[in-house]
Chains A and B, each alone.
Chain A
Amino acid sequence: MGISGIAGLIGSLIVGGVVGTVSLVGVINSQTSPPSKSPVSVEQPDLDYGSNS
């Protein structure tokens, strides 16, 4: 197998990896994502810059 073989192998792995990953991430996200519009808490008016948890 020459360089074209390597390229083919790499291409196959990328395509397979991307399709599999996108499917998996999509399923996980659809099952675990919070509501798109969370109610704003009057107790915490400032938006968190980030989280340590």
Chain B
Amino acid sequence: MPRPAMPGPAMPRPGRGWWVPGWAVLVTVVLLGPALAAGYVLSYDMVWVPDLTLRADFLGLGSSLPRAVPSDAVVSVLDEVVPGWLLQKLVLALPLVAGAVGVVRPLRDLPLTARLVAVSLFVWNPFVAERLVMGHWPVLVGYGALPWVLDLGRRWRVDRRLPAALPLLLVTGSLSASAGVVTAVALVASVGLRSRARAALAVGLVAAANAPWVVSGLLHAAAGRSDPAGAAAFALSGEGSLPAPLAALSLGGIWNSEVVPHSRTGLLAWVSLLVLLTLALTGARQWWARGRRDAATLLVCWAVGLGAALLTWASPDLVAWVAVHVPGGGLVRDGSRLLVLCVPLVVTLAAVATSRLLGVMEDAGAVMVAGVLVVLPLLLLPDAALGVGGRLQAVEFPTDYAAARAVIDERAGEGDVLLLPLASYRRPSWNGDRKVLDPTGRYQSRDFVTSDELVVSGTVIAGEDPRVMEVSRALALPSAPERARALVDAGIGVVITDRDAPRVSPEVEGETLLRGSRLTVTELPGARPRSSSAGRVGAMAAAWAAFVGPLGWGVAAAVTRRRRRPAVS
């Protein structure tokens, strides 16, 4: 005999539609904490400045591999509308909130508590915490777009009509190479291959969204091969006592142990794994029965993500071969980034398992279990709270940075900027001694040359930029005038020396435009700006047109469909 309807976790009530976004906002705010304060969060690869100026390098015309294409170009356009500091807050918070809301859209029939569990797990997991500290914000933007790409891909397959919002989502989810690959896999898996025309259009849209970094990478074919040592250094890794494959199953496994929360190195990591596996086994059958085609989509994504991550761990030699022999192959050497693809399935299984557990329990017990499960992801990764244990802090730039930018814009002659000392990363005292990619280059407005060599656990991973090698040779010359002449020949018109950095920089003869407390700006007269060939400019123009084109179609389609929609009286 069916039970009478009782007010409980599954009962719809007025205003309940706000619980999911409200909970997503609350969890996101607790996660980001001090990162949402006024100022700029600078952490490892994440560099945000007040006004990022669009320049040739950001458009993929530089001499280095396009690791920040198209993300830097997109930011430099958007921060003309929204201040850089505010844009960074939005970029950090919105994908988590929007992605959490998107990931529960296919689960609307489940009890509210089950959906809140999904929200908690989507926002609060090792992948998000580790990538936040690592500063991989384009990956997290793709993370937020992923559930919506899956949802709209499904709608396209079912309705047989391309959703107008899909091109915008594809572009949003393709702000870096690895994010673009993730978005492509998700779209193809959700759209399917049954209709060849639809599959071809999907591949075309994906190609357009990824065109800037793909074309730029191909243009670097001659010099764009990466150091094979990077394959082992950036492979999937264990966390504490958790071996790499098990770390990946629980959505961790980043290569850099410095950014792993402490709780992931102890007993809590094992408990997390056990909880996730239990939930997966509990919910698996019911999840599969909800719809095999949609289940297959999530399963394909999970398998590709986990498989790619495991490949970097099991066979770094193969990844190294790709980095050496495939132009631009080094762009995807950090294989654990693709674990993004595992999240929708893990989150969905947790929600379905929660629903099943609540269904077999008495009301009082169900409420208790529901409350515990909703906050369990937070309790199992407690040091992700408040800016991942305070590792994400907003700071202000010292005044030297604005002064250097101003003096270069107003007084310096032509030529690009060289950043000294020639080392990629800094640990500025004004940033709380937290590591960050040298922000000086992005703060000023010209193309710049900086080291692209990386040091991981004392192992040097060679860079790929031939111009850095040219500059290194110039700096190795015996006298300051000789160094200056060679740098001018290399197209360098300005040298900015960071005196706060530990490494000693070689002297270069030139006119000192600024001697601040931290930065010294030296002008090298006579430099000529380097220009790209017409062929390269044409190729990149076509790539950017492909990138922007589908957006225009999406807007036009949305407007047209809205006009055609019959008015509701």
The chain A residues found within 8 Å of chain B, CB to CB, are 1-3, 5-6, 9-10, 13-14, 17-18, 20-22, 24-25, 28, 36-37, 40, 44-53
The verdict on B503 contacting chain A, using a C-beta distance below 8 Å, is yes
Residue of A1, A10, A44, A51 near B258 (CB, 8 A) is: A51
When the two chains form their complex, are residues B456 and A51 in contact, meaning their CB atoms are under 8 A apart? Answer: yes
Binds A, one of B61-69, B218-226, B377-385, B511-519: B377-385
Contact B375–A52 (Cβ < 8 Å): no
A6 touching B367 by the CB < 8 A rule?
yes
Q: Is B367 a contact of A52 with CB atoms below 8 Å? A: no
Known: A28-B262, A52-B456, A53-B457. A14 touches B378 (CB 8 A): yes
CB contacts (< 8 Å) of A21 on chain B: these are 382-383, 385
From A5, A17, A44, contact of B378 by CB (8 A):
A17
> Is the CB of B370 closer than 8 A to any CB of chain A?
yes
A53 near B257 with CB under 8 A, answer: yes
Selected from A6, A36, A47, the residue in CB contact (under 8 A) with B426 is A47
In contact, B456 and A50 (Cβ under 8 angstroms): yes
Judged by a CB distance under 8 angstroms, whether B487 is at the interface is no
Query: A9-B368, A48-B458, A52-B233 are contacts. A40–B502 as well, Cβ < 8 Å?
Result: yes
Q: Give B22 Cβ to nearest chain A Cβ, in Å.
A: 10
What are 5 sample pairs from A and B whose C-beta atoms fall under 8 A apart?
A: A2-B8, A3-B112, A6-B113, A14-B30, A46-B425
Residue interface bits B491-503, CB-to-A below 8 A is 1, else 0: 0000000000011
Which residues of B258-284 have CB atoms within 8 Å of chain A's CB atoms?
258-259, 262
Identify the 5 closest CB pairs spanning chains A and B, nearest first: A50-B256, A21-B382, A9-B371, A40-B502, A49-B454
Q: List the B residue with the shortest CB-CB distance to A39.
A: B502
CB-CB < 8 A to B433: which residues of A? 36-37
Contact check, A17 vs B379: say whether CB atoms are below 8 A apart: yes
Chain B nearest CB, measured from A28 CB (Å): 7
Known: A21-B382, A47-B425, A52-B457. A1 touches B503 (CB 8 A): no
Q: Are B9 and A13 in contact (CB under 8 A)?
A: no
Q: How far is the CB of A26 from chain B (nearest CB, A)?
A: 10
Q: Once the chains bind, are B455 and A47 in contact (CB under 8 Å)? A: yes
Cβ-defined contact, A13 with B372, below 8 A: yes
Q: CB of B427 within 8 A of chain A?
A: yes
| Interface presence of B563 (CB below 8 A) | no
The distance in angstroms between the C-alpha atoms of A24 and B363, with both chains bound, is 34
Q: Is the CB of A17 within 8 A of B423?
A: no
Q: Is B227 an interface residue (CB 8 A)?
A: no
**Chain B residues near A49 (CB, 8 Å)?**
44, 256, 424-425, 435, 454-456
Which of B371, B386, B457 sits near A10, CB closer than 8 Å?
B371
| B7 part of interface (Cβ distance < 8 Å) | yes
Partner of B382, one of A25, A40, A48: A25
Decide: A9 near B367, CB < 8 A? Known: A47-B455, A48-B455. Answer: yes
- Given the interface pairs A6-B371, A10-B371, A13-B371, the reply to whether A48 lies near B378 with Cβ below 8 Å is no
Given A18-B382, A40-B502, A47-B424, 20 other A-B residues pairs in contact with their CB atoms under 8 A:
A1-B367, A2-B7, A3-B13, A6-B113, A6-B367, A6-B371, A10-B375, A14-B378, A17-B375, A22-B386, A37-B433, A46-B455, A48-B425, A48-B456, A48-B458, A49-B425, A49-B456, A50-B255, A50-B259, A52-B457
A22 to B460, CA, bound (A): 37
Q: How far is the CB of B115 from chain A (nearest CB, A)?
A: 13
A3 to B257, CA, bound (A): 41
What are the residues of chain B within 8 A of A51 when measuring CB–CB? 256-258, 456-457
Is B312 among interface residues, defined by CB-CB distance under 8 A? Answer: no
Closest chain B CB from A16 CB (angstroms): 9
Measured between beta carbons, the chain B residues less than 8 angstroms from A14 are 30, 375, 378
Closest A residue to B425 by beta carbon equals A47
B364 part of interface (Cβ distance < 8 Å): yes
Kindly list chain B residues whose C-beta atoms are within 8 Å of the C-beta of A3: 9, 13, 16, 112
- Docked-complex contact A25 and B372, CB < 8 angstroms: no
B389 touches A25 (CB 8 A): yes
Q: Would you give the shortest CB distance from B516 to chain A, in whole angstroms?
A: 21
Is the CB of B191 closer than 8 A to any CB of chain A? no
A38: nearest chain-B partner, CB-CB? B433
Nearest CB to that of B384 among chain A residues?
A: A21
Q: How far is the CA of A46 from the CA of B423 in the complex (A)?
A: 6
Closest B residue to A9 using CB positions = B371
Q: CB < 8 Å: which of A1, A25, A36, A52 contacts B262? A: A25
Residue ID in chain A nearest B13 by CB atoms: A3
Q: How far apart sit A13 and B30, CA to CA, in the bound complex (Å)? A: 14
Taking CB atoms and an 8 Å cut-off, the chain B residues in 339-393 that contact chain A are: 363-364, 367-368, 370-372, 374-375, 378-379, 382-383, 385-386, 389
In the bound complex, how far is the Cα of B503 from the Cα of A37, in angstroms? 16
CB distance from B343 to the nearest CB of A (A): 22
Q: Closest CB-CB distance, B17 to chain A, in whole Å?
A: 13
A44 to B13 CA separation, bound complex (whole angstroms)? 62
How far, in angstroms, from A38 to B351 measured CA to CA in the complex? 46
Of A9, A10, A14, A17, chain B has the most CB atoms within 10 Å of the CB of A10
Tell me the residues in window 398-439 of chain B with beta carbons closer than 8 Å to chain A beta carbons. 421, 423-427, 433, 435
Whether the pair B258, A50 counts as a contact (CB closer than 8 A) is yes
In the bound complex, CA of A2 to CA of B8 (Å): 6
A20 to B257, CA, bound (A): 25
A21-B382, A25-B383 as given contacts; A5 in contact with B256, CB under 8 Å: no
In the complex, what distance in Å separates the CA atom of A2 from the CA atom of B7? 7
- Residue of A21, A36, A49 ringed by the most chain B CB atoms within 10 A: A49
Quick check: is B88 within 8 A (CB to CB) of the other chain? no
